Structures are given as structure tokens and as C-alpha cells.
Amino acid sequence: MEFDVIIGLEVHAQMNTKTKMFCACDNDAWEKAPNTTVCPVCMGHPGTLPVVNKAVLEKAVRSSVALGCTVNHDSHFDRKNYFYPDLPAGYQISQYKHPLASHGIVKFSVTDPKTNTSEAAECRIHRLHIENDAGKLMHRANHTLCDYNRAGTPLMEIVTEPDLRSPKQASAFAEELRRILINAGTSEADMYKGMMRFDASISLRPKGEEKLYPRVEIKNLNSFKSLEKALQYQEKILRKLWSESKQPTGETTVGWIDDEEKTVLLRDKESAADYRYFPEPDIPPLEVSDAFIAAVTAGLAKLPSEMKAQYTALGLTEAEAAMLVDQEPLRARFDAIQAAIGEPKRASSLVLTQMPGFLTQHGKSLSNAPSIADMVELAKAIHSGAINVNAGKDVLEKMILSGKSAGVIIKDEGMGQVSDDATLKKFITEAIAANPKAVASFKEGKTAALGAIVGAVMKLTKGQADAAKVNALLLKEIA
């Protein structure tokens, strides 16, 4: 039997606000001592009152719009009740019935690295809601430690429709989602720091059928690689179960064990009733006006997919365009050079090939790269003919090593291109005198002989002559 693979994702992304969701505690707990960025509000002490951080709402609205969602003018918070030691209040403040936003769509592409071709795909977003994160448990031999630094960190939960059709498509979508959030400036989405986490649901359905079969939910996937591997693993199990007519009859939840590359059964999936949701009594309903949406989404950058399309339209390859979309420091330099000289090929050669090459060669990182203004100055010097392409490479390497600007290096090292007529003519006369055979061949009609004389001039000027000008002057001289 042939099957469709049906995958949907729930993504949790931490927002990069300065303070937590309902209190003034530092929202950046990375490498801070346990339980040092906490207060009675995020510790869930009785009698405290949560106050919604305005920046949380701004960032969540920005993200919603970037994901093509409709922002709902009225939404409210609900209490999701469950007991777990990392949740000090005994409930999470989330949004259940009326989420902040719904009905979005994300366009993305799935690249096949073998053929370097990409296929366009789409995934609808069911909803985006906001909620607070829980703390962290650290399990030691026979006891468990609680760190509440992360408790109260604002999260966006983004739920997709079951539109994804393969594990590869799911990870490509997740990567695009990460790009969109980073680009919107709403989440650092650093996978290593656990700022973006996935739960994935997968089921199979015989081809041609419309209905959905009970799904298996895989919890807490922390990287694109584990997302893809866990889904591949579960797909294989489901195919085997279907072939033995033992397909799942109810929804189940499994956990992925990264080291062993397998899933283990956690429990039957909880239903909404298990959480005893009710409207959060301490926070008034959220009202989001059109004016607020317009204000916080003004200046929202282009979507990563739109940027990529613009770069490939300039003649850049898929891989070059992807580098620019993913790495803002490269993009800023490329865009500035392109705006100054309008030569995309030259800009990409300088920014995507030469600059990273020299940085790596000299053990430096992108943070040591020449400034945007310095790179533009270098590109202009090459574009105007003040230095030739090879000299440009030398100047760039020296810029990276010394931190000096292109202009200073060109002046100090006398690297400027020789292009004034009088000087060039002097060298041309010298080259003609030294190459009588080439001159004679040229006069017999062998035009290729001209190259030898031009080469002699380049040698005399240590490669600094303007080759095009030498050609023109030489023709006048001997033709």
C-alpha cells in the first residue's frame, strides 16, 4: 500500500525581550548561577500579580505578521493547570481558546544538496499564542535540582497545520521559521541554548484518503537534525505497524533519545480536559488595535524567502543567496557594495569568497571583518580602476591583517594603478624596444603577438598598469 506522510509541528521559541513575561527579572539567564534571575512573581508565590510586558506583545505581533498570520484584536490568557516541579505556580499562563494570531502561511524551499536544486513548498500556520516558559530540572544520581531562572521567559508557541509531507520538508520548514523569527528581531532562536524547541506529530494515511489517522507526537526535539532523524525513525515504525495491520488506534506521545537515536513511549497524549483550562483571572483580556499592529510592524524587514529571490535575480547562485540571507554581517557588506558600484558578481566575490577566505586563513572570525565602509572603499577603488583586481586581493588581505582602510594601504604601499598616458607611454616604448620579434609578428598580421608586449609592460610596472589603457595606447603606437 502507498502512503502519504502527514507531519505537523509545534514550535516553542523564546522571545528576546530584556525582561521576563510578567515581571522585571532579567530574561537572559545564559550562564548565570541557578536561581539568581528570579523574583516572587516568576517563582509563583501566592499573592503576587503578573503584569504583561509590553515588549512581549510587540514581538509576538511582529512575528505573527512575518508568518502571514491574522492578529486577533481580542485574545486572552488561560491557566493551564498541571503539576510539575519546574512549574512553581502549578499552572502555566498560556492562551487556549483565543490565541493572539491565527491562519498564517510560510513559503519555503527544500534544497537537495546532491543536485543543488530546490523545490518550493508551503505550510499553513494554525495559530500563534504566547505563554511563559517553565524552569529547568537537573537530574543528579538520585536527586533532582530546580533552576527557576528560565521560569517566566516569554515563549511563542507556533502550531502548524499538518501540511508537511516528509521529515526533510519538516526540517526545511523549521529552518525557514527560525530565519523568519531572527529576521523579525523577535527571537535569537539559538538552538544550542534551547531557545527554539520542537514537538512533531506524524501519522500515515493510505494514498487517496482524506481523513487523518491517530498521530504519534514526538516531544522536545532540540535541533533540526534530531527533528529530521526522529521523524524518519517514527515513519519507519509506522510503516511497519501498517504493514502488520497494527496501526495506532489512539494518539500517543513518545520522547526522542538523541544518543541512542530512538524514541521511547512517554504516555498517552494528554487531552485539553487534563489541563483544566480556565480564563486567567489576574490579567485583563488583550486588546490589539490596528494602529498598534501598524506601529510595531513598521520597518519589518523583507521575508528571508523574498531576500533570497532578489539575490538570485541578481545572478547569484542559490548557495550564495543563502549565505547572504543567513549571515547578516555578510549581507550588510554585500548590500552596501552593490548599492555603491552595482556589480553583484564583484560584490559577491569580495564578500562571499575573498573576505571569508582571508579571515579563515589568518585564524580570524567574521567579527574581525573590515567594516562596511572599508569594504565599500575597496570595491570602489577596484571599480574605478584605481587598483586592479589582483592588487585588490592584496589590499583586502592587508586590511584584515592590519585593520587599516583600503585608501591608507593603497597610498602607503604605492599600489595605485598606473594609468596616466605619459608614464604608460614611457613603459610602452621600453617594451617595444625590448620585443622586436613580437612587433614584427604583429605587423605581419599576427594580432596575438600584441599580448607579449602588453605582458612586458605589466611586468615593467609590477602589474600596476591599467591593462585596457596599455592595449589602446600600444595599438596607436605600432599599428
| Shortest distance (Å) from residue 220 CB to Zn ion | 24
Q: How far is the CB of 133 from Zn ion (least distance, A)?
A: 12
Give me the least distance between CB of 145 and Zn ion, in Å please: 19
Cβ proximity to Zn ion: between 27 and 64 the closer is 27
Q: Which is nearer to Zn ion, 119 or 282 (CB)?
A: 282
CB 197 within 8 A of CB 220: yes
Task: Indicate the residue among 86 and 318 with the shorter CB distance to Zn ion.
Answer: 86
* Shortest distance, position 247 Cβ to Zn ion, whole Å: 46
Closer CB to Zn ion, 23 or 69, in the complex: 23
Binding residues vs Zn ion (CB under 5 A) = 23, 25, 39, 41-42
CB of 39 to Zn ion, least distance (A): 3
Task: Pick between residue 42 and residue 307 the one whose CB is nearest to Zn ion.
Answer: 42
Contact 183, 301 (CB under 8 A): yes
- Residue 21 Cβ vs Zn ion, minimum distance, rounded to whole Å: 9
Paired sense of beta strands 74-75 and 216-221, if any = unpaired
Minimal distance in Å, beta carbon 25 to Zn ion? 3
Measured from the CB of residue 149, what is the shortest distance to Zn ion in angstroms?
10
Residue whose CB is less far from Zn ion, 38 or 156: 38
Q: Which is nearer to Zn ion, 72 or 132 (CB)?
A: 132
Q: Which is nearer to Zn ion, 23 or 337 (CB)?
A: 23
